[in-house]
């Protein structure tokens, strides 16, 4: 499958958001 560059950029943004949410979740768990 060939993924358009635009879609790749969107996927990278989504991955960054997911990673940020995961980091926030771990920080919240540590604080608790």
Q: How many domains are there within the chain? A: 1
Q: What is the pLDDT, as a whole number, of residue 11?
A: 92
User: Using one digit for the tens of pLDDT, what is the confidence trace for 1-32?
Assistant: 676 888 889 999 999 999 999 998 888 887 66
How far apart are the two ends of the chain, measured CA to CA in Å? 44
DSSP state of 31: H
Q: Which domain holds residue 16?
A: 1-32
Q: What is the pLDDT, as a whole number, of residue 29?
A: 81
Global pTM reads: 0.59
Cα 32 from Cα 28, distance rounded (Å): 6
Residue 11: which residues within 8 A CB-CB, separation 6 or more?
3
Q: What is the pLDDT, as a whole number, of residue 1?
A: 64
């Amino acid at each position: 499958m060939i993924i358009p560059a635009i879609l790749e950029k969107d996927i990278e943004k989504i991955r960054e958001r997911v990673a940020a949410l995961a980091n926030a979740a771990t920080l919240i768990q540590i604080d608790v």
